[in-house]
Structure 1
């Protein structure tokens, strides 16, 4: 069976200290605050405080399609990174790494790296440009909202 992993990274500078940035992103209850209005996200189940092996269940509706996502926190290093893996999603595999870095005491960087495999590859390769454009649009919005809330 054919398979290929694709990756996408989006990085922003945020005018806040790394502690506030990390704490904001380690509380999944903040996800709806940074989700674009064209995506409907409902938190179905959530384990807090977030830690390695924590489970998150989301209902995500976009383009008229609803999908249940079940995520597990794979890695969590305070003020450094949060990684989750999709146990259930529309993708064959989906891994999300959030990395946090200090620039100085009042400025940090946030990097979101998504690594994924498409279902039904190679037939689904035609959807790749749309998926990458959609992710770019979503993370542009998410990072802008993070800046507005924390800045």
Structure 2
């Protein structure tokens, strides 16, 4: 099993704002990198435990869409959201969104535990998967900071 982790500090943001931002599935589209497209397949979705979010992802360089079914395992307001991919390109995917108050800032931590398909052969490709995860989460954290900073400057 592999582990990927990304942590950022968002200044002048409340724990509640960061938590609420992650509850809104529409924000996933906003924080998706430009070389990827995410389409929500649910008519509506509420990030409650046991709810399932259905997604279609498409990368510019890959002509085949990838379908995901992600179940919310834990929702502990305002510190934790954990989702688990029931259907994905991974053999195993568990993603924890951890929110921690740090003075007048909030720490956003994404932790992903994953297993690649194809056993030992799949492990050979982890370098590429890690690189893609790093690009994706760097972008997500950057845009999340920008959106929440603008939101907090308006309020």
Same fold per TM (> 0.5)?
A: yes
Question: For 1:133, which of 117, 131, 134 is the aligned residue?
Answer: 131
Equivalent in the alignment of 1:101: 100
The alpha carbon displacement at 1:49 in A equals 2.9
The alpha carbon displacement at 1:91 in A equals 0.4
On the 8 A contact 1:46/1:55 being kept in 2, the answer is no
The alpha carbon displacement at 1:100 in A equals 0.1
More strand by percentage: 1
Superposed CA deviations along residues 92-130 of structure 1, whole A, max 9, x for unmatched, are 0100000000012x3100000000011111011221000
The alpha carbon displacement at 1:47 in A equals 4.8
- Long gaps (5+) in structure 1: none
Equivalent in the alignment of 1:53: 50
SS class of match (1:122): helix
Structure 1 stretches of 4+ moved >2 Å: 46-49
Q: Matched residues in 2 for 1:74 and 1:38: separation?
A: 29
On the 8 A contact 1:93/1:118 being kept in 2, the answer is yes
Equivalent in the alignment of 2:39: 42
- Long gaps (5+) in structure 2: 150-155
Equivalent in the alignment of 1:150: 148
SS class of match (1:59): strand
On the 8 A contact 1:74/1:84 being kept in 2, the answer is yes
1:92 aligns to 2:91 (yes or no):
yes
On the 8 A contact 1:46/1:57 being kept in 2, the answer is no
State the number of aligned residues: 146
On the 8 A contact 1:47/1:55 being kept in 2, the answer is no
Query: TM-score, normalized by length of structure 2?
Result: 0.91
The alpha carbon displacement at 1:46 in A equals 5.8
On the 8 A contact 2:96/2:110 being kept in 1, the answer is yes
Superposed CA deviations along residues 6-49 of structure 1, whole A, max 9, x for unmatched, are 00000000121111000000111110110001011000016543
